């Protein structure tokens, strides 16, 4: 038995005990339901173990050489290829994806572009105070869940941060205050204690709330007596008292905020609010942690920034990076692509029908390890190994800390990793597609 890091979600828990003989996984101890689901993918009924090509509207199993050859043909005949996904791939595979996009003059983007990528882009302009899970465990006395439901999305997050005893917080939960800001009473509300604050905000009123809090920080008694965004004035004053008095507070921004439809205005105001708080702090600070869902959602932005100097969508022309404000959404809205390579994500299920239907009308190459709605409409399916179980690789945890994922067992039928498969495609293209 040995400890391994779980790639079930972006928390990347490193205390999962796995018993294996190197051929099969016999037992997994300590994982949550999402982690268990990740390990169950190895023997799942919807596991893909052979490449497939759609012929006469049916997916048929083919040999690897034929599938790669058909993939190369599609890419060579394409003038506007689109690459998307990568949040369930290792950093090494993400780097190969960018290399492939450059080679075929394509556009490449990750799931983060409609999520935490907006925050990191604004951070370059406004600055950002980030924290790590270790720091939260050891120092935090205030945790704020804003548009976040970790009890269901990242099940072990509260266990590690709220209920743990750290180096400088030996009494743990007893002195930690939890504040939840959400329009819906989620499962995370069930962990609240007598000292905690539950705020049922009106849907879509987060911007109004953060502006009121920021104004109150700069001007005393500016909160109206009737309250703001469905929250009464007394609760708002309690929030400010905790935030301005914390020694080490952290705001977990969840999908409710990161996927906000209010452009970047809400994110900008939250970042600015934190800056205002910290400028007035006498003894502590407030910082952020972005709650990405997929295990390596933060990785693509790090790889893109280090290799191309840009966060988010990358457009290549004449094998050179060009300036663009495009994302996967804008590309699909304008129908500005003629084929797509989808890696490790079920884009058909995740995007609105008005966008996903456009993907279905053009050649789609899927690189994934299990069947999804995207597999049902793909022209070519190329199976790959499960990173963190059947192959190793680097991932970036939700607090921007790099974590190495180890290999536990061999993949079935000698299936390649995402990195090896992308590298094989690149090599075949450089050789002329033969």
* pTM exceeds 0.95, yes or no: no
pLDDT at residue 227 above 80?
A: no
Q: Which residues pair with 159 in a beta bridge?
A: none
Question: How far is residue 65's CA from residue 90's CA, in Å, rounded to a whole number?
Answer: 24
What pLDDT does 434 receive?
A: 56
Q: Which CATH class is domain 117-290?
A: alpha beta
Mean pLDDT of the chain: 89
In the chain, where the domains are located: 48-115+296-397+410-430, 117-290
Confidence of residue 222 (pLDDT cuts 50, 70, 90): low
> Do the domains at 48-115+296-397+410-430 and 117-290 have one common CATH topology?
no
**Contact indicator for 403, 12 with CB cutoff of 8 Å:** yes
Confidence of residue 280 (pLDDT cuts 50, 70, 90): confident
Q: What mean pLDDT comes out for the span 36-61?
A: 93
What pLDDT does 397 receive?
A: 95
Which of 219, 217, 216, 221 minimizes the C-alpha distance to 276?
Answer: 217
Q: Which CATH class is domain 48-115+296-397+410-430?
A: alpha beta
Whole-Å CA distances, 309 to 124, 302, 304, 353: 12, 9, 7, 33
- CB within 8 Å of 138: residues ≥ 6 apart: 166, 167, 168, 169
Tokens in use for 61? 């199993």
């Amino acid at each position: 038995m040995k400890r391994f890091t779980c790639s079930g979600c972006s928390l990347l828990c490193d205390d999962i005990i796995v018993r294996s003989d190197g051929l099969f996984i016999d037992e997994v101890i300590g994982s949550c339901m999402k982690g268990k689901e990740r390990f169950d993918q190895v023997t799942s009924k919807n596991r893909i173990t052979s490449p497939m090509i759609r012929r006469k509207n049916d997916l048929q199993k083919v040999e690897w050489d034929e599938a790669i050859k058909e993939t190369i043909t599609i890419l060579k005949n394409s003038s506007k290829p689109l690459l998307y996904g990568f949040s369930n791939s290792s950093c090494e595979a993400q780097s190969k994806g960018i290399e492939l996009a450059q080679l075929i003059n394509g556009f490449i983007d990750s799931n983060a572009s409609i999520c935490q990528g907006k925050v990191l882009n604004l951070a370059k302009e406004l600055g950002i105070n980030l924290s790590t899970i270790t720091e939260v465990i050891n120092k935090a006395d205030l945790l704020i869940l804003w548009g976040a439901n970790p009890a269901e999305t990242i099940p072990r997050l509260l266990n590690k941060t709220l209920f743990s005893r750290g180096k400088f917080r030996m009494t743990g939960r007893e002195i930690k205050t939890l504040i939840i800001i959400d329009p819906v009473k989620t499962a995370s509300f069930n962990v609240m204690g007598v000292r905690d604050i539950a705020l049922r905000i009106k849907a879509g009123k987060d911007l109004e709330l953060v502006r009121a809090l920021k104004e109150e920080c700069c001007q005393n008694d500016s909160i109206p007596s009737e309250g703001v965004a469905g929250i009464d004035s007394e609760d708002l004053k309690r929030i400010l008292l905790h935030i301005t008095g914390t020694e080490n507070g952290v705001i977990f921004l969840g999908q409710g905020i990161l996927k906000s439809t209010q452009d970047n205005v809400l994110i900008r105001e939250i970042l600015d609010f934190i800056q205002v708080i910290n400028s007035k702090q006498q003894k502590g600070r407030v910082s952020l942690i972005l709650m990405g869902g997929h295990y390596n959602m933060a990785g693509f932005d790090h790889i893109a920034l280090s290799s191309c100097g840009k966060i988010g969508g990358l457009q290549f022309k004449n094998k050179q990076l060009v300036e663009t404000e495009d994302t996967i959404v804008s590309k699909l809205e304008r129908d500005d692509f003629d084929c797509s390579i989808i890696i490790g994500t079920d884009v058909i299920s995740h995007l609105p029908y008005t966008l996903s239907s456009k993907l279905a009308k053009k050649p789609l190459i899927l690189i994934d390890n299990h069947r999804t709605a995207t597999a049902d409409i793909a022209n070519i399916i190329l199976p790959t190994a499960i990173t963190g179980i059947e192959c190793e690789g680097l991932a970036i945890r939700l607090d921007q800390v790099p974590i190495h994922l180890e290999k536990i067992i061999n993949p079935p039928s000698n299936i390649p990793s995402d990195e090896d498969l992308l590298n094989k495609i690149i090599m075949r293209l450089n050789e002329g597609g033969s």
